[in-house]
A and B are shown apart, each in its own frame.
Chain A
Amino acid sequence: MSCNEKAMVTTPRNTVPVAFVPAASRESAWQYRPDVDIWERSDSYLIEMDVPGATPDRIDLTVAEHVLTVRADVPPRFEQGFSPVRVEYGVGDYFRQFELPRTADMAGIHATCSEGVLRITLPKVEAAKPRVIPISGE
């Protein structure tokens, strides 16, 4: 297990910023690592990612060299005339990367987003899908 993995396990929620992005061009100063569930099916992988506050048009999904990158821009949410009484979580952009297995079919990746949950389906390449091998008799 690499130290990267360890950092992941101890990260409890997306309330923990993973990087400070000082660039003035960004709307949000903090970047958050969204929580994921990952499932493996016989013919595909499914990544479910919590991205509350992100609208589908501001989620950016890219694949390059077997690395899947998810970015989402989340603008700050506070209103004119309101002052904070209690702040228990931060609001900012989401960023997370995954190294994909060779069995994932890069061209077939598709994603949907509803209720603040991004669902990314990664089909497996044909060779990686389970198949029944017929046994020939005499």
Chain B
Amino acid sequence: MILRHLTLNPVSPVGPVMASMDRLFDTLTNAGTCAANGHVAPFVPAMNIWQSDTSYIVEAELPGFKMNEIEVSLLQNRLTISGRHAEQTESNEQGECIRRERRVGEFSRTITVPSQIDSERIEAHLDHGVLRVTLPKAQAAQPRRIEVRPSAS
């Protein structure tokens, strides 16, 4: 079972893997890739969402963020996940930039969950850069079986 859906410009999957060879040291060819403009601006993290009869799981990949830098909140059925680095690492400390692709700014995203949530039992875990929020559905929102009885005629 393949659970993948591509939303961003897909590169031809037939492209040889060896095409990804990068030059580390050629600053001339890398000069254009260091502009920080698009990177320090807030970004919107992608999310994957699953559901079962009893709960939702919302997952986002947030590499580089620590637990205390991420905030998860629920207001009625609006779930907000936001984050910002406690201290900005200065590029001086890291050296001169040769290439910059990673998204390192702050982020915030709010999604509306279609069912009522039992807000007391929400759990969030951060594991190797992957945030996973489990939202149990409120009892009233869970499916229940209605028994069909013969009419009492």
* B46 CB to nearest A CB, Å: 4
Given A15-B7, A90-B5, CB of A85 within 8 Å of CB of B64: no
Rounded to whole Å, the gap between the CB of B58 and the closest CB of chain A is 9
Closest to A3 in B: B19
CB distance from A119 to the nearest CB of B (A): 10
In the complex, what residues of A have CB within 8 A of residue B24's CB?
38, 45, 47, 98-101, 104, 122
Assess whether B78 is interfacial by the CB under 8 Å rule.
no
Q: Are B102 and A86 in contact, CB atoms less than 8 angstroms apart?
A: no
Q: Write out, one digit per residue, whether chain B residues 35-54 have a CB within 8 A of any chain A CB (1) or not (0).
A: 00000000000111111110
Say yes or no for B29: interface residue by CB 8 A criterion. yes
- In-complex Cβ contact of A84 among B9, B50, B102 (8 A): B50
**How many residues of chain A are within 8 Å of chain B by beta carbon?**
71
A48→B103 CA distance, assembly (Å): 11
Chain B residues with Cβ below 8 Å from A7 are 11, 15, 19-20
A138 at the interface (CB under 8 A from B): no
Given known A39-B96, A116-B61, contact A52–B130 (CB-CB < 8 A):
yes
Chain A contacts for B4, CB-based, 8 A: 17, 29-30, 87, 90-92
Starting from the known contacts A54-B128, A115-B129, 8 additional A-B residue pairs (CB-CB under 8 Å) come to A9-B33, A16-B10, A29-B4, A37-B94, A37-B99, A96-B22, A115-B126, A116-B129
